[in-house]
């Protein structure tokens, strides 16, 4: 696990190799076992592998979704607001679990943010995707996780790039924390 956490990078370029059904099953199993507040499990996942739908997902917002066009697989993470007041947290955890499970399976992935993003001036990215995939009204799209085999490995961040200033011991403004 630490190896995965220390080395994981977002993958935006994928090889042509398809993700097989067993790997998809393992990814979803991990996501469905994610922790959630009060165990409400407010998520539903949509597995998308049709090229035309992937192409449409890639234009769900003007920036940052284009990687989905050439991804072999996307998992749309949706949440049911009526099941949890913290569905965003729960679905975010499920999204990162999907990404970590993908790494464990030798796959790469990238989170595409949908919540609070816009397709255009008149339509949210959530509305656009909900229309495209006929998502029922009680669900809202939090993210789309693009998944596939990595076209190339990206280097892990180095120790020098880790910002330890973001860690405080006990209280702010104590002698312990003098930089």
Ligand X SMILES: Cc1cc2nc3c(=O)[nH]c(=O)nc-3n(C[C@H](O)[C@H](O)[C@H](O)COP(=O)(O)O)c2cc1C
Which residues of this protein are in contact with ligand X, per CB under 6 A? 9-10, 12, 64, 67, 110-113
Nearer to ligand X, 105 or 111 (CB): 111
CA nearest 79: which of 13, 28, 126, 132? 126
Nearer to ligand X, 91 or 135 (CB): 91
Asked if 132 and 56 count as a contact pair (C-beta separation under 8 A), the reply is yes
Asked if 99 and 145 count as a contact pair (C-beta separation under 8 A), the reply is yes
Q: Cβ 83 to ligand X, closest distance in Å?
A: 21
Angle at 41 between CA 73 and CA 144, to 5 degrees: 25
Q: Cβ 81 to ligand X, closest distance in Å?
A: 18
Q: Cβ 67 to ligand X, closest distance in Å?
A: 6
Nearer to ligand X, 30 or 142 (CB): 142
The CA distance from 106 to 166, in Å, is 31
Nearer to ligand X, 139 or 150 (CB): 150
Any residues with CB less than 8 A from the CB of 51 and at least 6 apart, and which?
none
Q: Cβ 48 to ligand X, closest distance in Å?
A: 16
The CA distance from 108 to 105, in Å, is 9
Nearer to ligand X, 9 or 69 (CB): 9
Q: Cβ 9 to ligand X, closest distance in Å?
A: 4
Provide the 8-state DSSP code for 165.
G
């Amino acid at each position: 696990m630490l190896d995965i956490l220390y080395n994981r990078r977002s993958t935006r370029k994928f090889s042509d190799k398809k993700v097989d059904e067993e790997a998809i099953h393992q990814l979803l199993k991990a996501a469905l076992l994610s922790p959630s507040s009060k165990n409400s499990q407010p998520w539903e996942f949509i597995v998308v592998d049709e090229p035309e739908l992937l192409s449409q997902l890639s234009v769900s917002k003007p920036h940052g979704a284009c990687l989905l066009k050439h991804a072999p697989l996307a998992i749309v993470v949706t949440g049911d607001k009526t099941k949890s007041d913290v569905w965003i947290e729960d679905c975010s955890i499920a999204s990162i679990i999907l990404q970590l499970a993908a790494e464990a399976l030798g796959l790469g992935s990238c989170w595409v943010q949908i919540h609070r993003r816009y397709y255009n001036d008149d339509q949210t990215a959530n509305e656009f995707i909900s229309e495209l995939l006929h998502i029922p009204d009680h669900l809202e799209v939090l993210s789309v996780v693009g998944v596939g085999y990595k076209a190339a490995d990206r280097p892990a961040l180095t120790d020098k790039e880790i910002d330890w200033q973001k860690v405080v011991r006990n209280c702010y403004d104590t002698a312990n924390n003098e930089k």
